[in-house]
Protein backbone atom coordinates (compact mmCIF):
# COMPACT_ATOMS: atom_id res chain seq x y z
CA UNK A 1 0.00 0.00 0.00
CA UNK A 2 1.32 3.42 -0.96
CA UNK A 3 0.19 6.09 1.48
CA UNK A 4 0.03 9.67 0.23
CA UNK A 5 -0.13 12.42 2.85
CA UNK A 6 0.62 15.20 0.41
CA UNK A 7 -0.85 18.49 1.65
CA UNK A 8 -1.27 17.22 5.21
CA UNK A 9 0.16 19.12 8.15
CA UNK A 10 1.49 17.26 11.19
CA UNK A 11 2.66 18.14 14.67
CA UNK A 12 4.83 15.59 16.47
CA UNK A 13 5.82 16.13 20.09
CA UNK A 14 9.05 14.72 21.47
CA UNK A 15 10.39 14.62 17.93
CA UNK A 16 14.03 15.43 18.62
CA UNK A 17 14.99 11.76 18.95
CA UNK A 18 13.81 8.17 19.09
CA UNK A 19 10.30 7.23 18.06
CA UNK A 20 9.18 10.85 17.69
CA UNK A 21 12.03 11.65 15.33
CA UNK A 22 11.25 8.67 13.13
CA UNK A 23 7.54 9.56 13.14
CA UNK A 24 8.33 13.05 11.86
CA UNK A 25 10.59 11.69 9.11
CA UNK A 26 8.16 8.93 8.10
CA UNK A 27 5.27 11.39 7.87
CA UNK A 28 7.43 13.65 5.72
CA UNK A 29 8.39 10.77 3.43
CA UNK A 30 4.65 10.20 2.94
CA UNK A 31 4.22 13.85 1.95
CA UNK A 32 3.29 15.72 5.13
CA UNK A 33 4.76 18.99 6.35
CA UNK A 34 5.86 18.71 9.98
CA UNK A 35 6.27 20.80 13.10
CA UNK A 36 8.92 19.21 15.30
CA UNK A 37 7.97 19.67 18.94
CA UNK A 38 10.75 19.26 21.47
CA UNK A 39 11.67 20.41 24.96
CA UNK A 40 15.41 20.76 25.55
CA UNK A 41 17.36 19.00 22.78
CA UNK A 42 17.61 21.86 20.30
CA UNK A 43 20.42 20.42 18.16
CA UNK A 44 18.69 17.07 17.84
CA UNK A 45 15.44 18.82 16.89
CA UNK A 46 17.31 20.79 14.24
CA UNK A 47 18.58 17.52 12.82
CA UNK A 48 15.01 16.21 12.60
CA UNK A 49 14.02 19.38 10.75
CA UNK A 50 16.92 18.87 8.37
CA UNK A 51 15.89 15.29 7.62
CA UNK A 52 12.25 16.29 7.10
CA UNK A 53 13.37 19.02 4.69
CA UNK A 54 15.49 16.46 2.82
CA UNK A 55 12.23 14.61 2.13
CA UNK A 56 11.07 17.71 0.27
CA UNK A 57 8.65 18.83 2.98
CA UNK A 58 8.35 22.01 4.99
CA UNK A 59 9.66 21.67 8.52
CA UNK A 60 9.98 23.81 11.60
CA UNK A 61 10.92 23.19 15.22
CA UNK A 62 9.48 24.70 18.37
CA UNK A 63 10.38 24.14 22.02
CA UNK A 64 7.62 23.49 24.55
CA UNK A 65 7.13 21.53 27.76
CA UNK A 66 3.97 19.55 26.97
CA UNK A 67 2.94 19.59 30.63
CA UNK A 68 2.74 23.39 30.52
CA UNK A 69 -0.53 24.53 28.94
CA UNK A 70 0.78 28.00 28.05
CA UNK A 71 3.81 26.57 26.27
CA UNK A 72 1.64 24.12 24.37
CA UNK A 73 -0.65 26.93 23.24
CA UNK A 74 2.43 28.73 21.91
CA UNK A 75 3.51 25.55 20.11
CA UNK A 76 0.13 25.12 18.43
CA UNK A 77 -0.01 28.82 17.53
CA UNK A 78 3.44 28.52 15.95
CA UNK A 79 2.28 25.52 13.94
CA UNK A 80 -0.81 27.40 12.74
CA UNK A 81 1.21 30.46 11.73
CA UNK A 82 3.63 28.32 9.70
CA UNK A 83 1.32 25.66 8.27
CA UNK A 84 -2.16 27.17 8.46
CA UNK A 85 -3.98 23.98 9.40
CA UNK A 86 -3.40 20.82 11.40
CA UNK A 87 -4.34 17.35 10.20
CA UNK A 88 -2.21 15.06 12.37
CA UNK A 89 -1.17 15.24 16.01
CA UNK A 90 1.26 12.64 17.35
CA UNK A 91 1.41 12.76 21.15
CA UNK A 92 4.80 11.14 21.53
CA UNK A 93 6.57 13.25 24.19
CA UNK A 94 7.23 11.15 27.25
CA UNK A 95 9.62 10.31 30.05
CA UNK A 96 10.61 7.02 31.60
CA UNK A 97 10.27 6.49 35.30
CA UNK A 98 11.33 3.65 37.56
CA UNK A 99 10.81 3.13 41.26
CA UNK A 100 9.15 0.74 43.65
CA UNK A 101 5.81 1.97 44.97
CA UNK A 102 7.07 2.06 48.56
CA UNK A 103 9.98 4.33 47.68
CA UNK A 104 8.55 6.37 44.82
CA UNK A 105 8.46 10.06 45.72
CA UNK A 106 5.51 12.34 45.08
CA UNK A 107 7.59 14.47 42.73
CA UNK A 108 8.81 11.51 40.69
CA UNK A 109 5.25 10.19 40.35
CA UNK A 110 3.87 13.61 39.43
CA UNK A 111 6.58 14.27 36.84
CA UNK A 112 5.84 11.09 34.90
CA UNK A 113 2.08 11.67 34.99
CA UNK A 114 2.41 15.32 33.99
CA UNK A 115 4.48 14.64 30.88
CA UNK A 116 3.08 11.30 29.72
CA UNK A 117 -0.61 11.77 30.51
CA UNK A 118 -1.32 15.44 31.18
CA UNK A 119 0.88 16.35 28.21
CA UNK A 120 -1.24 14.34 25.80
CA UNK A 121 -4.41 15.87 27.23
CA UNK A 122 -3.10 19.43 27.00
CA UNK A 123 -1.86 18.95 23.43
CA UNK A 124 -5.11 17.32 22.34
CA UNK A 125 -7.24 20.06 23.88
CA UNK A 126 -5.08 22.72 22.25
CA UNK A 127 -5.40 21.36 18.71
CA UNK A 128 -9.16 20.82 18.71
CA UNK A 129 -9.92 24.44 17.71
CA UNK A 130 -7.94 23.71 14.53
CA UNK A 131 -9.26 20.24 13.79
CA UNK A 132 -12.94 20.57 14.67
CA UNK A 133 -13.84 23.31 12.13
CA UNK A 134 -12.17 21.16 9.43
CA UNK A 135 -14.33 18.19 10.32
CA UNK A 136 -11.28 15.94 10.11
CA UNK A 137 -8.19 15.07 12.09
CA UNK A 138 -5.96 12.27 13.31
CA UNK A 139 -4.72 12.08 16.89
CA UNK A 140 -2.23 9.32 17.59
CA UNK A 141 -1.04 8.69 21.15
CA UNK A 142 2.20 6.82 21.74
CA UNK A 143 1.53 4.75 24.86
CA UNK A 144 3.40 1.57 25.81
CA UNK A 145 2.87 -2.16 26.15
CA UNK A 146 3.33 -1.67 29.90
CA UNK A 147 -0.26 -0.42 29.87
CA UNK A 148 -1.15 -4.10 29.39
CA UNK A 149 1.69 -5.95 31.07
CA UNK A 150 4.07 -4.33 33.53
CA UNK A 151 6.96 -5.24 35.81
CA UNK A 152 8.26 -4.38 39.25
CA UNK A 153 9.37 -0.76 39.51
CA UNK A 154 7.15 0.54 36.72
CA UNK A 155 4.06 1.63 38.65
CA UNK A 156 4.30 5.30 37.74
CA UNK A 157 5.15 4.74 34.09
CA UNK A 158 2.53 2.00 33.69
CA UNK A 159 -0.14 4.17 35.29
CA UNK A 160 0.62 7.05 32.94
CA UNK A 161 0.50 4.86 29.84
CA UNK A 162 -2.58 2.99 31.03
CA UNK A 163 -4.25 6.33 31.57
CA UNK A 164 -3.25 7.36 28.06
CA UNK A 165 -4.97 4.28 26.63
CA UNK A 166 -8.15 5.12 28.55
CA UNK A 167 -7.89 8.73 27.39
CA UNK A 168 -7.61 7.47 23.81
CA UNK A 169 -10.85 5.51 24.09
CA UNK A 170 -12.72 8.40 25.68
CA UNK A 171 -11.40 10.85 23.09
CA UNK A 172 -12.39 8.55 20.24
CA UNK A 173 -15.98 8.37 21.47
CA UNK A 174 -16.20 12.10 22.04
CA UNK A 175 -14.63 13.21 18.76
CA UNK A 176 -15.88 10.63 16.26
CA UNK A 177 -18.87 12.77 15.29
CA UNK A 178 -16.44 15.61 14.53
CA UNK A 179 -14.58 13.49 11.98
CA UNK A 180 -11.56 13.06 14.26
CA UNK A 181 -10.03 9.64 14.90
CA UNK A 182 -8.07 8.99 18.08
CA UNK A 183 -5.90 5.90 18.39
CA UNK A 184 -3.00 4.68 20.48
CA UNK A 185 0.11 2.72 19.63
CA UNK A 186 1.65 0.54 22.33
CA UNK A 187 5.31 -0.11 21.53
CA UNK A 188 7.17 -2.86 23.28
CA UNK A 189 10.93 -2.91 23.75
CA UNK A 190 12.12 -0.50 21.05
CA UNK A 191 15.76 0.41 20.48
CA UNK A 192 15.93 4.12 21.35
CA UNK A 193 18.11 6.42 23.44
CA UNK A 194 15.54 6.24 26.25
CA UNK A 195 15.71 2.46 26.47
CA UNK A 196 19.42 2.04 25.73
CA UNK A 197 20.56 1.88 29.36
CA UNK A 198 18.03 -0.76 30.33
CA UNK A 199 18.79 -2.79 27.21
CA UNK A 200 22.49 -2.77 28.00
CA UNK A 201 21.91 -3.92 31.58
CA UNK A 202 19.22 -6.52 30.94
CA UNK A 203 19.67 -7.41 27.26
CA UNK A 204 19.60 -11.20 27.52
CA UNK A 205 16.77 -11.25 30.05
CA UNK A 206 14.69 -8.85 27.97
CA UNK A 207 15.27 -10.66 24.69
CA UNK A 208 14.24 -13.95 26.29
CA UNK A 209 10.76 -12.49 26.83
CA UNK A 210 10.23 -11.47 23.19
CA UNK A 211 8.99 -14.22 20.85
CA UNK A 212 10.37 -12.35 17.83
CA UNK A 213 13.81 -12.60 19.39
CA UNK A 214 14.82 -8.97 18.88
CA UNK A 215 14.12 -5.43 19.97
CA UNK A 216 11.84 -3.33 17.81
CA UNK A 217 12.89 -0.42 15.64
CA UNK A 218 11.55 3.11 15.92
CA UNK A 219 10.86 2.97 12.18
CA UNK A 220 8.41 0.11 12.74
CA UNK A 221 6.37 2.24 15.13
CA UNK A 222 6.57 5.20 12.76
CA UNK A 223 5.09 3.20 9.88
CA UNK A 224 2.00 2.45 11.96
CA UNK A 225 1.72 6.16 12.74
CA UNK A 226 1.76 6.90 9.01
CA UNK A 227 -0.97 4.34 8.39
CA UNK A 228 -3.20 5.67 11.17
CA UNK A 229 -2.63 9.19 9.87
CA UNK A 230 -3.88 8.24 6.42
CA UNK A 231 -7.37 7.98 4.94
CA UNK A 232 -6.93 4.20 4.91
CA UNK A 233 -7.55 4.30 8.68
CA UNK A 234 -10.62 6.57 8.64
CA UNK A 235 -12.80 3.81 10.14
CA UNK A 236 -10.33 2.96 12.91
CA UNK A 237 -10.77 4.86 16.17
CA UNK A 238 -10.37 4.21 19.87
CA UNK A 239 -7.96 1.35 19.26
CA UNK A 240 -4.73 0.38 20.99
CA UNK A 241 -2.37 -1.21 18.49
CA UNK A 242 0.47 -3.21 20.03
CA UNK A 243 3.88 -3.37 18.34
CA UNK A 244 5.96 -5.57 20.59
CA UNK A 245 7.20 -8.66 18.74
CA UNK A 246 4.75 -10.81 20.71
CA UNK A 247 5.93 -9.73 24.17
CA UNK A 248 2.44 -9.10 25.51
CA UNK A 249 1.07 -12.48 24.44
CA UNK A 250 4.01 -14.71 25.35
Residues marked as catalytic: 157
**Distance of alpha carbon 34 from alpha carbon 12, whole angstroms:** 7
Q: In Å, how far are 34, 50, 51 from 61, measured between CA atoms?
A: 9, 10, 12
15 SS3 class? coil
Cβ–Cβ < 8 Å for 67, 93: no
Cβ–Cβ < 8 Å for 37, 60: no
What b/e sequence results for 44-56 when a residue is b if at least 16 CB atoms lie within 10 Å of its CB, and e otherwise? Answer: bbebbbebbeebe
165 SS3 class? helix
Amino acid sequence: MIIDLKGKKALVTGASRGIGKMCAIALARAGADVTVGYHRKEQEAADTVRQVAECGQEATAFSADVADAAQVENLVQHHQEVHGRLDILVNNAGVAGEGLIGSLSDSDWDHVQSVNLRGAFVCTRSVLPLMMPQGTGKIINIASVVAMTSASGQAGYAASKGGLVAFTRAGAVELAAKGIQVNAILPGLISTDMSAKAQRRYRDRMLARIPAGRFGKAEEVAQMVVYLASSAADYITGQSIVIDGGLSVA
